[in-house]
Amino acid sequence: MHELSVVNSLIELCEQNAKANDAQKVIKVEVKIGKLSGIEPHFLQLTFDTFKEKTICENAKLLVNIQEVIIECLSCGFQGTLKNNEFICEKCGGNDVRVVDGEDMVLMRLEME
Ligand SMILES: [Zn+2]
């Protein structure tokens, strides 16, 4: 179960941040999930709510933002949103593109008390 290990490391990250900031609890966790990450937002919510108990995130609300896939063309430098899952530059038509965003989950913001 992919989401379980994701939630585990997310809660771990929250604990580290809270400790570093002398916070007693986390009240809000904001993440962005890349469309290519393979993480299902609804399932992530459920898993988070299940496993946050007895952790520093016990009363935390998880806010999930979806990150579109951004590709960069290595030939002409164009950057844009991936459309129709086609890894082709829409400017020059080249296929020498790389993904610059939307591949993984990133912790955006933490609210602590
Ligand atoms: Zn291009």
Residue ranges covered by each domain of the chain: 2-112
pLDDT digits (tens, 9 = 90+) for 16-66: 999 999 999 999 999 999 999 999 999 999 999 999 999 999 999 999 999
How many angstroms separate the alpha carbon of residue 102 from the centre of ligand 1?
19
**What local confidence, expressed as pLDDT, does residue 2 receive?**
83
Q: How far is the CA of 4 from the centre of ligand 1 (A)?
A: 38
**What CATH class has 2-112?**
alpha beta
What residues flank ion ligand 1 with Cβ within 5 A?
73, 75-76, 78, 89, 91-92, 94
> Rounded to an integer, what distance in angstroms lies between the CA atom of residue 63 and that of residue 72?
28
CA of 34 to the centre of ligand 1 (A): 22
CA of 84 to the centre of ligand 1 (A): 17
Q: Residue 11 belongs to what H/E stretch?
A: helix 2-20
- Judge whether 59 and 22 are in contact, CB under 8 Å: no
Q: What is the DSSP string of 61-109?
A: EEEEEEEPPEEEETTT--EEE--TT--S-TTT----EEEEESSSEEEEE
Amino acid identity of residue 104, one-letter, is D
Instruction: Give the pTM.
Output: 0.86
Q: By three-state DSSP, how is residue 31 classified?
A: strand
